[in-house]
């Protein structure tokens, strides 16, 4: 007997696949991470992240213009200073590279896109850790909170609309929220990097920010084997007043992302990190994969798992594909002609 239930009926053509697609990406769901460096006169390529650069202020402005034209949701700024010290003084200096870049871009584009900033000390400390060190060399959680509060106020005053608390210090959301409110910055939103894992996928990022780190961050970032802990961290941040929570990295932690998305009553984002980007670009450069299809498939999987928005270095490229296809999926993605496979 021939089967009467035939799921393939809904896969028989590109228009049919497009019609019944369960997961769709929109440009507004995408956020572009950007590196702005001090002391350079032209964009500096990042060797482990082909196609990505450390920006000057002018090249950053050009990239933000591209981002706005592509319709993406916003940009996340990281600063790369020339001088570092034990407490990350450049992070709170109004003329430090991150605050200067934020003010420069927010003044020009703040009405057209969401200018966001990374709130962490690791780019600014000479030891490369995300906080202040105690006498024994460990990261002092509570002393670090004081620095985060000052950094938050400096970023809000520079014009950042969303502050990305990525340091994984206990109590950071509550401490920063109180400091912002006391300083009159009640409208500054907090993005908590709630479930941030101590992963090998951060390697290329360390080149991108000229990291000074030796050792690891396992005493404050999460163990890759811990799933329940990721949800616990997110719920704690929500209780402390986070406006958005984050899972980072994305691709290897889709189970954690799904858990958080199911439980959260605030938006849930995910960060497709430097190592995820570098692996795809390296494999594509060797001709081993279909680059464009895999980019779209990877972002689709993150949204499918529950992310409301995705930080990705392919944000502009993916958004331009979506625009070219009337907000459908990207090259070779769901519903695209020519994507039929065995």
Query: How does pLDDT run across 260-297, given as a tens digit for each residue?
Result: 999 999 999 999 999 999 999 999 999 999 999 999 99
Q: What is the pLDDT of residue 9?
A: 94
Confidence at 209, pLDDT banded by 50, 70, 90: confident
Confidence at 327, pLDDT banded by 50, 70, 90: low
Q: Which residue has the higher pLDDT, 329 or 292?
A: 292
Mean pLDDT of all residues in 58-66:
98
Tell me the three state secondary structure of residue 85: strand
- List pLDDT tens digits, range 1-26: 789 999 999 999 999 999 999 999 99
Q: What is the pLDDT of residue 20?
A: 96
Residue among 212, 248, 121 at smallest CA distance from 172 = 121
pTM as predicted: 0.93
Q: What is the pLDDT of residue 160?
A: 98
Residue among 100, 67, 80 at smallest CA distance from 312 = 67
Residue among 146, 152, 143, 142 at smallest CA distance from 180 = 152
Q: What is the pLDDT of residue 63?
A: 98
Are the C-beta atoms of residues 247 and 230 closer than 8 Å to each other?
Answer: yes
- List pLDDT tens digits, range 38-47: 999 999 999 9
Confidence at 89, pLDDT banded by 50, 70, 90: very high
β-pair type (244-248, 189-196): parallel
Label residue 312 exposed, middle or buried (CB < 10 Å: 0-12, 13-18, 19+). buried
What is the distance between the alpha carbons of residues 184 and 178, in angstroms, rounded to a whole number?
A: 10
Q: What is the pLDDT of residue 213?
A: 77
Say yes or no to pLDDT of 163 above 80.
Answer: yes
Say yes or no to pLDDT of 337 above 60.
Answer: no
Mean pLDDT of all residues in 176-205:
95
**Which ranges of the chain would DSSP assign to H, the alpha helix?**
14-20, 57-70, 97-109, 141-158, 172-182, 203-208, 228-240, 254-263, 274-285, 291-305, 315-324
Q: What is the pLDDT of residue 216?
A: 84
Q: What is the pLDDT of residue 214?
A: 76
Determine what percent of the chain is predicted with pLDDT higher than 70.
95
Q: What is the pLDDT of residue 331?
A: 54
Q: What is the pLDDT of residue 207?
A: 80
CATH fold of 23-324 reads TIM Barrel (3.20.20)
- What mean pLDDT, rounded, does the chain reach? 93
Confidence at 339, pLDDT banded by 50, 70, 90: very low
Say yes or no to pLDDT of 305 above 70.
Answer: yes
What is the distance between the alpha carbons of residues 32 and 341, in angstroms, rounded to a whole number?
A: 31
Say yes or no to pLDDT of 334 above 80.
Answer: no
Mean pLDDT of all residues in 80-88:
95
Determine what percent of the chain is predicted with pLDDT higher than 90.
89
Tell me the three state secondary structure of residue 214: coil
Confidence at 342, pLDDT banded by 50, 70, 90: very low
Which amino acids are annotated catalytic? 196, 248
DSSP annotation of 222 reads B
């Amino acid at each position: 007997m021939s089967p009467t239930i035939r799921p393939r009926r809904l896969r028989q053509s590109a228009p049919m696949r497009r019609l019944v697609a369960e997961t769709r990406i929109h440009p507004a769901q995408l956020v572009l991470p950007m590196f702005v460096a001090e002391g350079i006169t032209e964009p500096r390529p990042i060797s482990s992240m082909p196609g990505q650069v450390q920006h000057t202020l002018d090249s950053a402005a050009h990239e933000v213009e591209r981002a706005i034209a592509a319709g993406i949701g916003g940009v996340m700024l990281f600063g790369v200073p020339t001088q570092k010290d034990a407490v990350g003084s450049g992070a709170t200096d109004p003329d430090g590279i991150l605050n200067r870049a934020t003010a420069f871009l927010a003044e020009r584009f703040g009405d057209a896109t969401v200018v966001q900033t990374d709130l962490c000390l690791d780019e600014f400390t000479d030891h490369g850790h995300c906080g202040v060190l105690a006498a024994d060399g460990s990261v002092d959680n509570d002393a670090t909170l004081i620095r985060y509060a000052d950094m938050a106020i400096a970023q809000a005053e520079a014009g950042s609309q969303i502050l990305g608390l990525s340091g994984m210090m206990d109590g950071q959301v509550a401490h920063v929220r109180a400091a912002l409110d006391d300083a009159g910055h009640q409208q500054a939103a907090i993005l908590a990097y709630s479930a941030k894992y101590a992963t090998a996928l951060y390697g290329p990022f360390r080149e991108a920010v000229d990291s000074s780190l030796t050792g690891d961050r396992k005493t404050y970032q999460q163990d890759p084997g811990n799933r329940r802990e990721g949800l616990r961290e997110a719920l704690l941040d929500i209780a402390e007043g986070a406006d958005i929570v984050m899972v980072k990295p994305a691709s290897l932690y889709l189970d954690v992302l799904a858990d958080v998305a199911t439980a959260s009553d605030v938006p849930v984002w995910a960060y497709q990190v430097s190592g995820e980007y570098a692996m795809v670009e390296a494999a594509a450069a060797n001709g081993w994969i279909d680059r464009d299809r895999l980019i779209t498939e990877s972002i689709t999987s993150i949204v499918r798992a529950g992310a409301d928005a995705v930080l990705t270095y392919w944000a502009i490229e993916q958004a331009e594909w979506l625009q070219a296809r009337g907000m459908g999926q990207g090259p070779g993605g769901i519903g695209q002609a020519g994507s039929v496979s065995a």
